[in-house]
Amino acid sequence: MVTMSTAPKIWTRETGLVEKRDLWTAMKRGFRGRCPRCGEGKLFRAFLKTADDCAKCGLDFTPHRADDLPAYLVIVIVGHIVVPTILWIETNYTTPVWLSFAAYLPFTFVASLALLQPVKGAVVGLQWALRMHGFDENPPDGIPPV
């Protein structure tokens, strides 16, 4: 039999004080590859590998769960740039197939690689600002650490 604690939680000024986290600032810092909290430390130790923690403020980056969201967002962003451009060029100009492939494929590849790390950084900044996936100081009880 499980007994529940009926002791009321008492609100004090200290319990109400939490670190303010601005969403857009955190995402901009993450987009630049910087720590979402201080904006000074490096977020990545390799191309897509996040550092374990910030060298400046000590923020732990290990709880982030970006998973596949950055790749999906990059596909959407690059697709919204490439597809209308291809449609406009192909309807207004006559280009050989080899020239089309020689231009569109490398541009799509380079644009995708160029956006992948900044978008992942923005997603990590979003998770930190919204206190998602362990970035909260007081995680709920009963959830084991990842």
Tokens 């910030």 correspond to: 54
Assess contact for 35 and 56: CB atoms under 8 A. yes
Contact partners, residue 62, CB within 8 Å, separation at least 6 = 50, 52, 53, 134
Q: Residue ranges of the domains in the chain?
A: 21-130
User: What pTM was estimated for this model as a whole?
Assistant: 0.80
Per-residue pLDDT of the chain (146 residues; tens, 9 = 90+): 555 555 566 656 665 556 688 999 999 999 999 999 999 999 999 999 999 999 998 889 988 899 999 999 999 999 999 999 999 999 999 889 999 999 999 999 999 999 999 999 999 999 999 988 878 776 555 555 54
Distance from chain centroid for Cα 64: 9
